[in-house]
Amino acid sequence: MAMTHTQALAKLAADTLVQTLEEDVARVMARTFALGRHDAAIAANYGGHALPPLLRRWSCVLQAGDAKATALYRHKTALALAIVLHRNGLADAGLNAAARTAIDALNAEVALSDDFFRKSAQIRQDFLDTLPAPPKRSPGLPDSLTFYRAADVVAMELDGRFHALYVHGCARTNQSPIVEFYDAVFDHVPQMAELADVRARGRRYNDGVGRVARFSISGLKFLPDPAGQFTLVKACVETPPDPGHLQKGDWLYTVSDIFELQSEVDSMFGPGSKP
């Protein structure tokens, strides 16, 4: 009997992880389809546009050490992501190789049910060894619910470096936190003492003027973040980073999401910026 993607994912017993992966893939695919309507190159290769930001975010778990994420969690993540991508018409050779290893490791550790063990060969064949059908339509855009609150200070990992963000509030009730960056880069999750005298990071525009830069972020939902990209540093921090050296813009904030935020960070700090 054929197995559906939903049935395979249910065998991982990781509801929040799977939900986050499904919403992440849906979010980035919805944007990719929208761009593809006006860009033939994107429409001809959805995976080439959608996979890099997805893997950049989830590498925070997939490439993490044991101190941050257990080996079993990394294996579950690799397998779940490969299955979710397959359902959406995408595949990555490196991820699928990790997912095959994950099946063997999960079974060796007897980490899941007997049913997972019995169906492992079918999961491997149907979702890892069989190419997915090409994506045909955009998935629905997920909600923007968030469990982050005003006055939270959060660390964001990107390519092995860490940025600190201050949550000013939400764009709507419990949706899309509005964040502002501290002007610092770290090689670890910073402590509040390291942020005590750090000013706000602004954006410099073509006129050479640095202006206040705030972003409403859809997709920043669970706390802790199942992808391990966002970490709460401290809650109820009354004093935000000082933006006094920056000019106010004619807008309140830029509407963004957790994937577009990667490009914003690259623009503001420079790609591969060092602590």
Q: Does 273 have pLDDT greater than 70? A: no
At a CB cut-off of 8 Å and minimum separation 6, what does 103 contact? 79, 120, 123, 124
Helix (H, G, I), strand (E, B) or coil at 156: strand
Residues β-bridged to residue 172: 175
Q: What is the mean predicted confidence (pLDDT) over 228-249?
A: 96
pLDDT digit string, tens, across residues 207-233: 888 999 999 999 999 999 999 999 999
121 burial (CB, 10 Å; 0-12 / 13-18 / 19+) is exposed
Question: Which segments of the chain are extended strands (E)?
Answer: 153-158, 161-172, 175-181, 203-204, 210-211, 214-218, 230-234, 254-257
Q: Does 274 have pLDDT greater than 80? A: no
Residue 122, both tokens: 């079918």
Model pLDDT, residue 144: 96
Residue type, position 96, single letter: N
Element (H, E) at 79: helix 71-87
Q: pTM surpassing 0.85?
A: yes
Mean pLDDT of the chain: 96
